[in-house]
Structures are given as C-alpha cells and as structure tokens.
Structure 1
Amino acid sequence: MDVNWFFPPHDGLRLSDLAERIGASLQDETAGDRIVSSVAPTYRAGPRDICYMLQRRYRDEFTTSQAAAVICDESVASIVPPHIPVLLAKYPHTAFALAGAIFHPEALRPIQNLGGQSGISPAAFVDPTARLEDGIDIEATAVIGAGVEIGSGTRIAAGVVVGPGVRIGRDCTISAGATILCSLVGNNVIIHPGARIGQDGFGNAPGPRGGMIKIVQIGRVILQDHVEIGANTTIDRGAMDDTVIGEGTKIDNLVQVGHNVRIGRHCGIAAKVGIAGSTRIGDGVMIGGAAAINGHITIGDRSQIGAMSGVAADVPAGERYGGIPARPMRDFLREAAEIAARANLRKRKTTTGDKQ
C-alpha cells in the first residue's frame, strides 16, 4: 500500500519497549533493538511494521511478510519463519489492539479539527446561556443550544446540533453532523458522524376515526462513560422513562435503539441491529449484525445473539441464541444441519432417478 498520509507512522519504538507496554514477551531478546512504527496485515507487513496472527491456517501470509515482529500465542509461534521475531501474548488480539493505540492514537477517535483551528470557532453558534468549561473545541456551523453544559476536553465537530439543556461530560468527541437532544452524556463518549441521539421515539395510539394519534415522548437518553455510538445510529429518547446505554458499551453504525431501551455495561452491538422499545439488555451482551430484537423482552447478562437472528422472547443469561425465531444456538445449528442433510438426500434421489 502507498504511504498513508491520513495516519502517518509513529516516530518509532524499540521492540523490547513495545513488548513491555503491551504485556507480551519477546522470544528472541537479541531483536529487542528493532524499531517498529506502525501496524499492518501479515502478508504485506514491512521491516518497521508489527502484525498479529490468531490461527495457523493463515500461515501462507508469512511467505510475503517482512514484518519487524508478529504477535501471537504459543499455538502459532511454531509456524513463524525464523526471520520474524515473535511477541508471545496470552491474548494476541488484545495485545495488537494496544500496539495500534500506541502507534496511531489519532485513529481511535473520529477525525476532528476540520477547520484547522482550536477553541470555539466564530462561525459556530453558541447560546449565551450555555456553560462551557475551558479547553473545548467547537467547529464552524455547530449549534449549541440554551442551557447546554459541556465539560473540558470535549470536541464538537462541524454541523453538530446540541439541543437545549443537554449535558455533555469531559473528553468527549461529537462528530460532524450528529444531533443530540434531551440527553445526558457522560465522560469519554464518542459519537460518530450523523448519529441521532434523543429524538422522540415511535409511539402512537389508535385514532377515534381511524389513523393514529402520536403519544408524547418525555423521557431522556443517558449515555454513560466510555460509550461509543456509530455513524448514523439512532437512539430514541424514552416515552416516560429514560433510554439508557451503559458504561463502556460500543454500538456500531446504522443501529436503531427504540424508546425506553436499557442496555447494560460493556455490551457490543454490531451494525444494522434493531432493538424495539422497552427491551432490557444485560451486561456484557454481544449482538451480531442485522439481528432484530423484539420489544418488552429481557436479554440476560453475557448472552450472545447470532447475526441476522430474530429474537422474539427472553434470552437467559450466558446463553448463545441464533436463527429466526432465535433459539439456543446448538438447536439452531442441529436443525440447519438436518435441513441440509434432507436437501442433499432429495438431490441424490433426483440424480439417480429414485422416486421413492
């Protein structure tokens, strides 16, 4: 790949120092003085790049690799060519993530400073009643409403709209074009471009002459500390209670979170998931892409929902569910295997002319 000027390489770090910082051990200590400055996939890693490998089946990628070192565990270390030093880690994926953060900290948050300046742009509108701590960046065309409170270190990008009374904590990043209404936002929260937070949820009652009558939505959205919200994701405010996203939860792009939903701490929700109103999701839950979650159900702590599943009823804590309707993953996989086996049997009978 050509030189990437969007994320230029680090000034450089000794391999031994990197190993210490990411909690890995360097197998060949004589390689400790090698300088590394970036991350790259194994197949095209160069002499100053660090890479990682999780499974032996990708061993062919080493044939073109000139990596400064590879992060892996003991099960993979034996297939690494002798010219590539090994950084042994119990959790290679985590160690690689730490290395990436060291070399490219600017890539951990959405790109800001579009106007090339810091502080509050004269082309931003900030209501005189807003309360802003020191050290805040607000870019051109952002709108900060009446009574807003924003903590130090927070960056508001171009085109952001922060509605009246919203409170945003410290060291947050609110990306271009996002809107935040009727919300309380904690510290170190990242909101990616185009996200919509705090608009009214979908609630209607049958009208006396047909049609529907809108039900007022007077709750809030609460984003706790270290939450990340993906691009073009929408989180509706509560009808009368709050919609709550728990500490450390990461939500991907294009996710819909309905009113009164409560999501626990340290959950991971992949793109295109839809969560209907008043659902309760526990701590540490992982939901695969394009899953649909019914309203007014509970998904227990540490459970996992497979991609493209349709969850119609409660999911017990610690379970893995998949399919439509979602059921325990072992049942879903067994049923899928049985259907495939029957289809193959019918195909063989057709091929051989057996009509029985």
Structure 2
Amino acid sequence: MGADPRFFPARGPFRLAALAEAVGARLVGEGDREVSGVAPLALAGPDDLAYLEGRRHLAALRAARCGAVLVSEDFAAAAPEGCAVLVTPTPQLAFARAAALFHPRPAPVPGIHPTASVAADATLGEGCEVGPFAVIGARAEIGPGCIIGPHAVVGAGCVLGAGSILRAHAVMEHCLAGAGVVLHQGARVGNEGFGFVTTAAGEHVTVPQVGRVILGDGVEIGANSCVDRGAGGDTVLGPGTRLDNLVQIGHNVRTGRGCVIVAQVGIAGSTELGDFVVVAAQAGLVGHIKVGSKARIGAQAGVMNDVPPATDVVGSPAWPARETMRAFARLRQLATPKKDDKTGGTP
C-alpha cells in the first residue's frame, strides 16, 4: 500500500530498468516490468517498490509482497520469488531518490492571491506563487520559482533565493537566504535575539539586536523552530544544514555545511559548529563554545565545553561517549549488592 493519492498524487508507473538507471542500481529481473508506487517493506504490494536496510529486517523481506525491492548485494538472495531485485550499496538512499521520482515536490502555481499583501517596491522573480494572506514587505527580493504559503511573511529587505519555499505561517525577517531554502509551518527566522543587561535594581534592559540571519543554499528549518538574528554580527546556517521541528538557535550561532540539528535542541548564542555536525534530540549547548566538524552530540546531552572534531559526546555534562559508557558501567557495579552484602546495596 503506497501513499494516499488524496495527499500525495504519484507520477508513473515507471519501468524497473528506468528506475534502476535513475537511482544507480543493478537490476536483477525484468526490465520492462513496471511499478506504480513506493511503500515500506511491510506494507508494499505487488505494484510497489520497497527497500531493505540491514539484516534485522530480513524476516520482513522474506515475507514481503512487494513487486520490487532495493537491497545490498549481501541480501539479494533473500528476496521472495517473483520479486524483482535492484542491487545497490545504499538501498535507503536509492529508495529516497526513487520516491522523489514518484512524488516530486509540487511546483509553484504562478500568481498572487488577491488577499496577499505585496509591497510596491518588492521584487518577485518569474513563476512565484504567493498564497492567501501572505505578506511580502518593502524592498524584499524573491527569486524565481518560490512558493510563499498562506499567512507566510517575508519581512522588509529580506532576500529569498530561487526555488525556496515558505510554508503556512512561516516568517522571515532580517534574513538573507540562498536558493532552495525551506521554512516549514510556523518557523520563525530573524527574531530578536535574547540579549539584555540587568541593572542593580533588577531591571532587564534590552540590547538592540542589529545583526542578520544568513541561510545558505538548501537550508531547511522545521516547523515551529526559531533562529534568532545576530546581536551585532550575523547568525549563519551553512549550506545544506537541516533543523528539525522545535529547535532554538540563539543569536550569532554559526554552523558549517550539512549540519543536522534534531528536535528540541537548544544552542545558545555565539556557539560555532563545524561541517556535518549532528546534534541529537533535546541536547543543549551553552554559548561561546566550538564543536568541531563531524562531531556528534547525543540525545539530551548537556554540552558545556568545546568538542573536538569527529568526537561523539553523550551525557550531561557531556563527555566523550566511551568515557561515559565506562563511567556508567562502574556506577552499575557500585550499585549492585554483593552476594554477602546484607544491607541490600547502596540505597
């Protein structure tokens, strides 16, 4: 059972030979055979393409009813009889590319809805779609082929590169964004940073936040995530960086290329991430630290110091993963009562 056509109309069907060529796989089976959709292995029917990622799903593959499956060479022989096999070293990646053929991102429907508000001096590129009650501010520059969804806001002076999308209720202010940027529903970019000085009497005096947000090409920001503008310099998310839903990025944070920041992460001001850093869910990073390229931060970690490149850290306070696992093992030993211990162990 593939995607619900009410929400995800599919192109196709596609010949397996054409699909194999498109995703870089080697076809074992009939090249003229067609599939009309993609689906998970457990739900796929005779007209669907599925994939196997790893040994733990072998039983599901043997019981599968899919018409074709993407697998690595090691597991190709496990496919059930009658199922065409597309061999690739990266089945999940190939499946993602195949799924994009069946369900490409919707193209903009050019035009400006009558309820939208577009400033007279704003510039819109060719083929843009501006939805109901959207707002495009003065001097804003929107590249060709962009989609500005219902109630979305492009603030005064903002720049949005070609092929970008602001989904419903997304807002960008004080922002320069590259091509192919996506702000999902309710995302907020360019908010005033959390900067203030407290007087002796306890009054909080706001420090004007006069920086910008710079989004590189291909940045995606999840639903209800917030990216504060810089206090003086800029907040920068490098090309290809992806934020999950409910992420908070503080003022003057900088990331490198291709960083992945998962749900409910909070990164405090002026922290810097190198290229391809992964920050797992609910982790918190204090301000003014540096995380090296290809480092990985574990879920719910509390990062209070610099993290070297290509280092995994977990726990709160965050330590290198191996050290933390050894410490946990030692704690378990201390907490386990000995056979002759009549006290029942440490309370």
Global fold match (TM > 0.5): yes
| Structure 1 counterpart of 2:249, one-letter code | V
Q: Is the 8 A contact 1:54 1:76 kept in 2?
A: no
* 1:283-322 aligned within 5 A: 283-322=275-314
Q: Classify the secondary structure of the residue corresponding to 1:32.
A: coil
**1:164-243 matches, cutoff 5 A:** 164-243=156-235
2:89 is matched with which residue? 90
Residue pair 1:56, 1:79 contacting (<8 A) in 2 also: no
Is this contact kept in 2: 1:248–1:266, CA < 8 A?
yes
Deviation (angstroms), 1:324: 0.9
Aligned residue pair count = 344
Q: Which runs of 5+ in 2 are unaligned?
A: none
Q: How far apart, in 1, do the equivalents of 2:2 and 2:85 lie?
A: 26
- The AA in structure 2 aligned to 1:45 is A
Q: Which residue number in structure 1 is paired with residue 101 of structure 2?
A: 102
1:160 corresponds to 2:152:
yes
Alignment partner of 1:143 out of 135, 142, 146: 135
Q: Given the superposition, is the C-alpha separation of residues 213 and 50 from structure 1 closer, same or farther in structure 2, using an over 3 Å criterion? A: same
Q: Which has the higher helix share?
A: 1
CA distance in 2: counterparts of 1:2 and 1:327, whole angstroms: 43
**CA–CA separation in structure 2 for the residues paired with 1:57 and 1:133:** 49
Secondary structure at the residue paired with 1:105?
coil
Comparing 327-336 and 268-277, the one that deviates more = 327-336
Identity across aligned pairs (percent)? 44
Where 1:217 maps in the other structure, the secondary structure is coil
Query: In the alignment, is the contact (CA less than 8 A) between 1:177 and 1:195 conserved in 2?
Result: yes
* Number of the residue aligned with 1:41: 40
Name structure 1 gaps, 5 residues minimum: none
Match of 1:259 among 251, 264, 272: 251
Query: Which one-letter code corresponds to 1:248 in the other structure?
Result: G
C-alpha deviation, 1:82, in angstroms: 2.8
Secondary structure in 2 matching 1:307: coil
1:315 partner amino acid: V
Asked whether the equivalents of residues 3 and 38 of structure 2 are also in contact (C-alpha less than 8 Å), the reply is no
Cα distance change of structure 1 residues 2 and 227 upon mapping to structure 2, 3 Å threshold = closer
Query: CA offsets, 1:297-349, max 9 Å, x none?
Result: 00001111111111110000111111111111111122223333444x23x75
Deviations along 1:142-196, one digit per CA (max 9) or x if unpaired, are 1111111111101100101111111111110111101111010111111101000
Runs of 4+ with >6 A deviation = none
State yes or no: 1:331 paired with 2:331. no
Higher mean C-alpha displacement, 323-332 vs 202-211: 202-211
Q: What is aligned with 1:277?
A: 269
User: 1:36-69: per-residue Cα shift (whole Å, max 9, x none)?
Assistant: 1211111121111111111222222135421111
The root-mean-square deviation of aligned C-alpha atoms, in Å, is 1.9
In structure 1, what is the Cα distance between the partners aligned to 2:319 and 2:270?
A: 21
- The answer to whether the aligner puts 1:119 opposite 2:118 as a matched pair is no
**SS state at 1:198 partner:** strand
Q: Which moved more, 1:214-223 or 1:68-77?
A: 68-77
SS state of the match for residue 322, structure 2? helix
Q: CA deviation at 1:211?
A: 2.3
Structure 2 match to 1:16: 17
Amino acid in the other structure paired with 1:18: L
Give 1:254's aligned amino acid.
L
After TM superposition, the structure 1 stretch with the greater mean CA deviation from structure 2, 132-141 or 180-189, is 132-141
TM-score when normalising by structure 1: 0.92
Query: How far apart are residue 77 of structure 1 and its match?
Result: 2.2
What secondary structure is seen at the aligned counterpart in 2 of 1:188? Answer: coil
Q: What's the offset of the Cα at 1:355? A: 5.3
